[in-house]
């Protein structure tokens, strides 16, 4: 049986402000880059060395596009889970070009903001109309006594 997986997980810092594009169909995509870095001590020289890789991110998932557009800022640390895709396109001179990206499809992929959110942003995220009583639980004992016999 032939089995393959195309899955990428990155944790890194956003390198530029996200760019939102809307297609004629109404579908949207948001693009930004993520930097991942690795550092080590050189065994021969003893000096600290590092390398940074840049990854292009393209999000087509509508819910994640909304979140990225509202909350992602340059420098933030994010977790991204998607697929590697290489697409071919032509530049203005008609030359074939290739771009490799991490793509979060319409119904796949994950985006997690790892930096502390601005308190003003958090308040706008909360939906107070559908607030559950468990949302107010802060570790204190609460009285759950009611008329249900079990």
Q: pLDDT confidence of 117, banded at 50, 70, 90? A: low
Q: How far apart are CA 73 and CA 35, in angstroms?
A: 13
- Mean pLDDT across 68-89: 95
The domain locations on the chain are: 8-136
Report pLDDT for 132: 45
Distances (CA, A) of 134 to 39, 131, 140, 141, 142: 42, 8, 11, 12, 10
Q: Which CATH superfamily is domain 8-136 in?
A: Nucleic acid-binding proteins (2.40.50.140)
% of the chain residues with pLDDT over 70: 77
pLDDT in tens, 39-60: 999 999 999 999 999 999 999 9
pLDDT of residue 119: 54
Instruction: Provide the pLDDT confidence category of residue 135 given band limits of 50, 70 and 90.
Output: very low
Secondary element (H or E) of residue 86: strand 77-90
| Helix, strand or coil, per DSSP, at residue 11 | strand
């Amino acid at each position: 049986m032939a089995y393959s997986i195309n899955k990428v997980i990155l944790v890194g810092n956003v390198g530029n402000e996200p760019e939102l594009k809307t297609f004629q169909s109404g579908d949207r995509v948001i693009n930004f880059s993520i930097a991942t870095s690795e550092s080590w001590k050189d065994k021969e020289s003893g000096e600290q060395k590092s390398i940074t890789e840049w990854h292009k991110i393209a999000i087509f998932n509508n819910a994640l596009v909304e979140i990225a557009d509202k909350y992602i800022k340059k420098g933030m640390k994010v977790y991204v889970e998607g697929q590697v895709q290489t697409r071919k396109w032509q530049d203005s001179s008609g030359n074939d070009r290739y771009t490799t990206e991490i793509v979060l499809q319409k119904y796949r992929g994950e985006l997690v903001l790892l930096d502390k959110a601005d308190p003003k942003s958090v308040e706008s995220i909360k939906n107070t109309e559908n607030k559950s009583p468990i949302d107010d639980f802060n570790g204190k004992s609460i009285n759950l006594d009611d008329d249900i016999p079990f």
